[in-house]
Structure 1
Amino acid sequence: MEIAEVRALIETGLPGCETLVEGEGCNFSVVVVSQAFEGLSPVKRQQRVLETVREPLGTGALHAISMKVYTPPEWQREAANAAPAA
C-alpha cells in the first residue's frame, strides 16, 4: 500500500479528520486528529481508526498499523509540548 491510500481510507472513514501517515509496504504509523474522538476512550478511538482500514488488514495488504489518536485540543497541547523552547 501507499501512504496516500492509507490516508484516503482513514479520511473517508472519519470525515473531517486530520491524518499524518508514515511508512511503506504494509507497515504504517499514523497520527489521527478528529473531533469524533471527543469523549471516547483511547481503545474506542483506535477501534474507530481500525474500522477504516479493516479490508486491507483482512487481505494482508496492510500488515501492521501503529497509531496515536487525538482530539483537536489534545493535538494542540501535544504540539505545544513538542515545540522547542525559544
Structure 2
Amino acid sequence: MEIAEVRSLIETGLPGCQLSVDGEGCNFSVVVVGEIFEGLTPVQRQQKVLATVRELLSTGALHAISMKVYTPSEWQREQSRGTESGTPTAE
C-alpha cells in the first residue's frame, strides 16, 4: 500500500477536502480538512473518512489508519496555535 493509493481513495470519497497522508506498508495517518465536516461530531467525521478506505480495511491491505479531521476554521485555529504539523493539500 502506497501513500498515493490512500490519498486517491480519500480524495475520491471526499472531494474538495485537503489532506495530508503519511505512513507506509499497511499503517497510515491522515489529516483531512473540509467544509463537509461542518456540524458533524468527531465520530461522524471519522466515519466519513473510514468509509473511503473501508474495502482496504476489510481485506487487510490497510491495517490501521489514524486520523485528525477538521473544518477549515478549526484547521486555521490549529495552525495558529502551532499544534499540528503537515500541510493538507488538495490535488
Shorter-chain TM-score above 0.5 = yes
Equivalent residue of 1:21, what SS?
A: strand
Unaligned 5+ segments in structure 2 are 84-91
CA distance in 2, matches of 1:6, 1:75: 21
Provide the residue aligned with 1:34 in structure 2.
Answer: 34
Q: So what's the TM-score if we normalise by structure 1?
A: 0.94
Equivalent residue of 2:15, what SS?
A: coil
Identify which of structures 1 and 2 has the higher relative contact order when contacts are C-alpha pairs closer than 8 Å and 6+ apart: 2
Cα shift at 1:17: 0.4
Q: AA paired with 1:2?
A: E
Q: So what's the TM-score if we normalise by structure 2?
A: 0.89
Unaligned 5+ segments in structure 1 are none
Cα shift at 1:77: 0.6
For residues 20-62 of structure 1, what are the alpha-carbon distances to aligned partners after superposition, in whole Å with 9 as ceiling and x for unaligned? Answer: 0010000000000010000000000000000000110011000
CA distance in 2, matches of 1:34, 1:43: 15
After TM superposition, which residue ranges in structure 1, 4 or more long, deviate above 3 angstroms?
Answer: none
User: Identity over the aligned pairs, expressed in percent?
Assistant: 76
Provide the residue aligned with 1:16 in structure 2.
Answer: 16
In the comparison of the two structures, how many residue pairs are matched?
83
Cα shift at 1:64: 0.1
CA distance in 2, matches of 1:37, 1:25: 28
